[in-house]
Structures are given as C-alpha cells and as structure tokens.
Chains A and B, each alone.
Chain A
Amino acid sequence: MQDLKNNTHPSDGKDTNRLDQDFRRLLSDAELTPDAELLDQIMDRLASEQPVLKQEVTEIKTQTAPDMFSKASKVRQLRKRFSYAAAIVGILVVLSIGIKELTRPDSVVITASTADSGLASTKPDKAADATAPTAVSVQGGNASKTENGLVAAKAAGLKATENLKNADRTVKAAADLQGNNRNINNNNAVATAVSPLHQASRSKQGGNPAVSAKAADLAKINPSTATSLKAGVENKALAIADANSAKTVTALKEIATSQPAKVAHGDAAATALAVNASGTAEPVISDNNRQVTGQSEHTALTDQAAVTRNNEVALTTATETDRAAERSTGKRRNRGILKGFVDKLATTAQAISEEVVSQDEDKTVINVGVFAITTYK
C-alpha cells in the first residue's frame, strides 16, 4: 500500500530551471473536467468491489475446509512426512558409506624411520651409510603399490625386526660369553670386566640393558684387580680376549652373511643391522686390547682389521643384495642420463595411480548414493 501519511504538497518551486518553473506554474493548478460517465463508473466500481471480496473469501473457505480434514489429505501428509524421514535416512546412509569408503586404509606404509627405529640407539657412526640405501629401497617398494612390492616390503619389514632381535641376542650372547670367562682366573676377569665396562659406557644411548647391567656388576666386583694388572697375565688375558672377539666376530659374521642372495629389501636392512652389530663389537674388542697391554695392540689391530674386512664384506653383500632387489622390483632399471627421467616417470605414475584409486573411491560413493536414491524412489 502506498504511503498516504504525507499530506503536504511538495510542488513548491525549488528548481531554478526555467522550463520546469513554467510547467509547474501552468500545470499545478490547471483544471480539466473529465467526462461525466467517469463518476458513474467510479461509483459502480466502489459498489462492486467489496461484495466480490467477501464472496471470494467465502468461496476460499468452502473449498479448502473439507479438503483440509479429508482422509486423503491425512494420507498425503503422512506420505510427505515419511518422504522427509526417508530422505534424511537415505542421506545419512550415503554419508556413512562414503565416510567408511574414504577412511578405509589401503596399505601399510613402512617408512625409513620405522624400519630402522630399533637400530638407531646401538648403531655406530660407521654403519650409518650402510643403512641409508636399504631404507630407501624399502620405502620405494611400498610406494609402488604393486602387490609384489607390498608383500615384499611387509616381509622385509618383519624380517628386519626379526633380524634386529637376533642381532641383539647375539650381542648379548657375546657379552655373556665374555662375562663367563672371568671365572677362569682373576687375570681373565680383569680383561672381561673392563670390556663390558667400556661397552656400557659407550652404549649410553640405549644399548642392551642386560649387558650394561652385567658390565656394571663386573666393574663393581673387580675394580681393584683391574688396576693391579701384572705383566705376566697380559698374554693370557690377550689370548682370551682374542678368543672372545673371534667368537663374537664369527657369530656376527654368520648373521651378516646369512642368505644374502635370497632376500629382498628387508634382508638388506637385516644385513645392515648385522653390520651395525659387528661395528658395535669392534670398539669393544679394541678397547679390550688397549686396556690389557700396549704390546697386544698389534694383535688387536689385526683383529680389528679382520672385523673391518668382515664389515666391508657384509656391506658389499648388503649393497649388492639391495641393488639386486631394486632390479627385481624395477626400481633401478636405468642409470645415467635416463635415471632422472625414469624416476620422474615413476613418480608421475605413482601420483596417477593414487588419483585413480581416490577416483574409484569417489565413484563407489556416488554409485552407492545413486543406488540409495533409486531405492528410495
């Protein structure tokens, strides 16, 4: 409805335009009598409009009232409510299925950090290079998302854990062996007591707690004997220390060389672990030697050289195994100029495969939604 409250006439001359002023002056109070019939038409219209309105309202009431309370309308209302409820349930079902599809885990990702997490505390600095390619190869095998690669990666991870435990056990056995030798005589005890003591001090970062405890015990038992070391005893202690180190090295060597050609990436990691373990044993042996006597230094160095050679052999074997595993899984097909290109292609293919997998999931969700809507209809 228009605003009828303002009763003032605004046609007071504000504008300075001459034309406007003239028009306003001439037209504002002008009069022109309309046809006489117009009044009759107005009166007829006034008379006819109100009754029509009342009639219209009555007709609307008479038409809608029975329909509002009929059985058909109730059924219609119920159907409408049911349709709302069904629509809500359908949407919820679609959402739940979609969320379930999207949150479903595709694969177990074994990263480099998880593969050698148990090793990190005991490995020496020397062995760090040996573990690096192994970790990469494990991750690459997983990332390819092929079935063989996944299985191989999982098996390799499991085997790596197993071998890690074996390596720990071997180190512990070597320590026990050294500890048992102290019963031969006091001279031996000196050598064996000092060595675990050093080992305990060197494995502060999380070495074998049993070894550390044993070393601490031995250190408590033989503190004075260790200081009153005599020259005559040196040779015996040296011989026993050599024997112990030889045993330890043999045990570690067995682990390091155990089935290198048969295994995939995980075994390469295991081999690297073994190398780490032997590397841990190495300073034990050299410290032992140094503590016993300066004359035994040559022998200890020879022993150390042997251990180093063993380490090198193990490293070489691990590297070769690693490369062989990479070749078998297609990781390293080309070298040189084409290597970067092939790597890029592999990355792109991986991204595409992941995209395809996610699109498949989306399609599944959409199909389920369409099916739910069709069922509802």
Chain B
Amino acid sequence: MSKANIHTLENLIEGCINNEHAAQRAMYQIFAARMYVICLRYGKTKMVAEELLQTGFVKVFKSIVHFRKEGSLEGWIRRVMVNTAIEYYRQAVKMMPTETLTESFDRAGHEQSGLDQLALEDLLALIAGLPDGYRMVFNMYAIEGFSHKEIADKLGITEGGSKSQLSRARQLLQLAIKKRQEVEYARLEK
C-alpha cells in the first residue's frame, strides 16, 4: 500500500495501459485483498478463488485501456472479477435443478441473523458451503445487487429459477448459522 500511495490512480492507470510492470504490481497491491474476498465468495475452494483472482487481474491489465474513467476504478475491477467468476461457473459447473418459488421459500432470512458474531472466514465458509448454483445466485443478488432478470440472463436460467435458488440459499444459510450458534452455546455452557 505504501508503494501504491506513491502513484495516484491516474498514473497507475496510465502505467497499466503502457504495460508497465511497476504500475501493474502497484494496482494489484491496492485491490487484491478486496478482490480476493469476492473470489472466495464465488469460488468453492481457495484454489478456485486464486484462479479467479489471477484470471481477473490478467483481464484487468489487458482491458484497462477500455476503462473510461466515468466511475470508480474499484467498481470496474470488481465487475471484472464477478464476470470472471460467472464465466468460470458457466464453463465449469452445471446448474443445480431449479424449483418453482413458493411463498414459504421467501420467508427465510428475516430473523436476526447472528452474523456479527462470526469471523470473515466463517462467513466465507458459510457461503462456500452452499451448492454452486445457490452460491452464485446469492452472491449476485444479495451482495452484488443484480436483479433476478440480470442473474437469469447471465447464468442462463429463468427468473423463477433465480428466485427459487436465492430462497434455498437463504434457508441453507439460516440453518448453517443456527447450527453454528448452537455449537457455540454448547461450548460456552461447558
């Protein structure tokens, strides 16, 4: 971060466009930690997350010439990472069979989640424990803020399928959080 501070973002972008290794290293140092969390959310394992991070940064450095400087650079890089994860998912993983959304599905997740007591690694582990399709939809909808239509377009599923998988993901997360809390209470009682 200290090296990154030397360069302003403008200079970094110019350096990356000119294929300067120093600028590329500096940019990586600034954004890698945040992007790595994103990749950990989308990838089921650490290895997959590192592969996503690597591929994403290669794309960023190759495509930074197309960045129009109209928004934040971090947002643009985040979008590149998410798109890389989606692309990877579509190539490597088959979608889970979808079910029609019912009202009972959508009730999950309105109670106190108890997530504040969990560490980042635990949160990421909860998400990583979801099936591939659920994890993709949950990440895209709950954290990235995609609409169900956008998710359906990007993942090649229906809007109903996206909603259904989101609800299932919420249910599974709630169950996992509850189990963790029970284990924690049991440990404290002892």
Contacts and interface: CB of A to CB of B under 8 A. Distances in A.
Interface of A: 1-12, 14-15, 17-20, 22-24, 26-35, 38-39, 41-43, 45-46, 49
A33 B36 contact: yes
Interface string B54-95: 100110011100111011111110111001100100000000
Interface residues of B, number: 58
A8 B145 CA distance: 11
B82 to A, nearest CB: 9
**Chain A, interface SS category:** loop
B54 A42 contact: yes
A11 B145 contact: yes
A42 B60 CA distance: 11
A20 B142 contact: yes
Contact of B76 (A7, A27, A38, A43): A7
B34 A30 contact: yes
A32 to B, nearest CB: 5
B25 interface: yes
Contacts, number: 140
B110 A18 contact: yes
A43 B174 CA distance: 41
Interface stretch (B4-12, B96-104, B111-119, B180-188): B111-119
Contact of A7 (B54, B71, B141, B174): B71
B58 A46 contact: yes
B32 A38 contact: yes
A19 B74 CA distance: 25
B25 A6 contact: no
A49 B19 CA distance: 13
A171 B92 CA distance: 101
Nearest to A5: B68
Given A31-B37, A34-B53, A43-B25, 15 more contacts: A8-B75, A9-B78, A19-B173, A22-B113, A22-B116, A23-B142, A23-B173, A24-B142, A26-B120, A31-B36, A32-B33, A33-B32, A42-B28, A43-B24, A45-B54
